[in-house]
Structure 1
Amino acid sequence: MTHPSPTRVFFVLALFQKGFTSVIQTLNTVDEAVGEDALLSCQILQPENVVHVTWQKQSLDGEINLATYNNFYRSKVNPDFTGKVEMKDGGLLNSSIVIKNVTEEDEGFYLCLFIANPAGALTGRTFLRVYELHEPVLHMRESNSSDEFFVSCSVTGRPAPSVTLNVPQQDFSLSQHNTVSVINTEGTFTVTATAVLAGCNVTGKQARCAVQVLSRQKEVFVPIPDVKLTTTTGLDEGSGSASRCFGLFPTVGMLIVAVTCLCAALVFIVLLIRRQRSSPSHRGIEKTEIRQTADADTVQDVSSTTEMSQLRKRTPPKEIQPKCEVTAPASLTAEAGQPLLLSCNITTATGNTIQQVRWLSRHDKLLLAYDPRVPVRISHQEPSVQLTGHHHDGSYITITRLRHDDEGCYRCIFDVFPKGSQEGQTCVKVTGKVRLAGNKTATSGNPITLSCQYSLPERVLQVLWRKTAEQGDTTTVAAYSKPGQHKVEEQFRGRVSLSRTLDDTQLTIQPVRTEDEACYTCEFHTFPDGSRSATACLFVYVLPKPEVTHVTSSSGITEANCTAQSRPAADIMWDIGGDNRTIGPPILSAYDQGDGTTIVTSTLLFQAGLLSEHSVKCIVQHQGLEKPLTVPLNTKVSPVVVILLSVCGVVAVLLLCLCVCLCKCLICTDD
Structure 2
Amino acid sequence: MIVLFNFAFWKMHPPNCVLMSVLLMIADGLIVHGPSGPLVAPLGSSVVLLCYVNELLVMEDLEVEWTRTDSETLVHLYQDGESRPESQQQEYRDRAHFFTDQIQHGNFSLRLDNLRAEDEGRYTCRVHSQQDSGETVVQIKYVERLLVSGSDEFMSVGEDVTLSCSVDSHITPEHIEEVSWRKTDGDILVLLFQNNKTLPDSSDEQYRDRAELFTAEIPKGNFSLRLKSVRIEDKGVYMCLVFAGGLSANATVVLERLGFSVSHIMVLILCISASGSALLLCCLFYCRSPYKGINIIICCTSFGT
Look up the match of 1:474: 189
Letter in 2 for 1:437: S
Q: Tell me if 1:533 matches 2:250.
A: yes
* Aligned partner of 1:508 among 226, 235, 238: 226
**Equivalent residues in 2 for 1:223-234 (5 A)?**
none
* Aligned partner of 2:136 among 423, 439, 443: 423
Structure 2 residues without counterparts, runs of 5 or longer: 1-9, 202-206, 292-305
Summarize deviations over 1:337-376 as a string: whole Å, max 9, x none.
1333434113569899866433233645423253623466
Q: Compute the displacement of 1:423 (Å).
A: 2.0
Q: Tell me if 1:489 matches 2:186.
A: no
Q: Compute the displacement of 1:450 (Å).
A: 0.8
Q: Distance in 2 between matches of 1:363 and 1:486?
A: 41
Q: Distance in 1 between matches of 2:57 and 2:16?
A: 26
Q: Compute the displacement of 1:449 (Å).
A: 1.4
Q: 1:510 to 1:378 in 2, by over 3 A?
A: closer
Letter in 1 for 2:41: A
Q: Distance in 1 between matches of 2:213 and 2:12?
A: 100
Look up the match of 2:74: 367
Q: Compute the displacement of 1:381 (Å).
A: 1.7
Whether the 8 Å CA contact 2:31–2:134 is kept in 1: the answer is no
Look up the match of 2:118: 405
Q: Distance in 2 between matches of 1:442 and 1:371?
A: 54
Whether the 8 Å CA contact 1:387–1:398 is kept in 2: the answer is yes
Q: Which has the higher strand share?
A: 1
Q: Compute the displacement of 1:443 (Å).
A: 0.9
Summarize deviations over 1:151-208 as a string: whole Å, max 9, x none.
xxxxxxxxxxxxxxxxxxxxxxxxxxxxxxxxxxxxxxxxxxxxxxxxxxxxxxxxxx
Look up the match of 2:88: 381
Q: Secondary structure at the match of 1:327?
A: coil
Letter in 1 for 2:250: S
Whether the 8 Å CA contact 1:513–1:540 is kept in 2: the answer is no
Find the structure with the greater CA-based Rg. 1
Whether the 8 Å CA contact 1:337–1:455 is kept in 2: the answer is no
TM-score normalised over the length of structure 2:
0.58
Identity, % of aligned pairs? 15
Q: Structure with the greater relative contact order (CA < 8 A, sep ≥ 6): 1 or 2?
A: 2
Q: 1:496 to 1:312 in 2, by over 3 A?
A: closer
Q: 1:365 to 1:406 in 2, by over 3 A?
A: same
Q: Distance in 1 between matches of 2:232 and 2:56?
A: 74
Look up the match of 1:329: 35
Q: Secondary structure at the match of 1:384?
A: helix
Q: 1:472 to 1:416 in 2, by over 3 A?
A: closer
Q: Distance in 2 between matches of 1:566 and 1:367?
A: 71
Letter in 2 for 1:326: V
Mean Cα displacement is larger for which, 317-326 or 366-375?
Answer: 317-326
Q: Tell me if 1:358 matches 2:73.
A: no
Q: Secondary structure at the match of 1:338?
A: coil
Q: Compute the displacement of 1:526 (Å).
A: 1.2
**Equivalent residues in 2 for 1:578-657 (5 A)?**
none
Q: Tell me if 1:435 matches 2:149.
A: yes
Look up the match of 1:520: 238
Q: Distance in 2 between matches of 1:494 and 1:351?
A: 70
Q: 1:366 to 1:495 in 2, by over 3 A?
A: closer
**Equivalent residues in 2 for 1:1-12 (5 A)?**
none
Q: Distance in 2 between matches of 1:347 and 1:319?
A: 22
Q: 1:566 to 1:421 in 2, by over 3 A?
A: farther
Q: 1:541 to 1:457 in 2, by over 3 A?
A: same
Q: Distance in 2 between matches of 1:354 and 1:384?
A: 27
Summarize deviations over 1:115-166 as a string: whole Å, max 9, x none.
xxxxxxxxxxxxxxxxxxxxxxxxxxxxxxxxxxxxxxxxxxxxxxxxxxxx
Whether the 8 Å CA contact 1:353–1:418 is kept in 2: the answer is no
Number of matched residues?
Answer: 250
Q: Secondary structure at the match of 2:218?
A: coil
Summarize deviations over 1:468-492 as a string: whole Å, max 9, x none.
4866542425x387xxx55473775
Look up the match of 2:4: none
Q: 1:415 to 1:459 in 2, by over 3 A?
A: farther
Structure 1 residues without counterparts, runs of 5 or longer: 1-303, 550-560, 568-591, 596-671
Look up the match of 1:241: none
Look up the match of 1:249: none
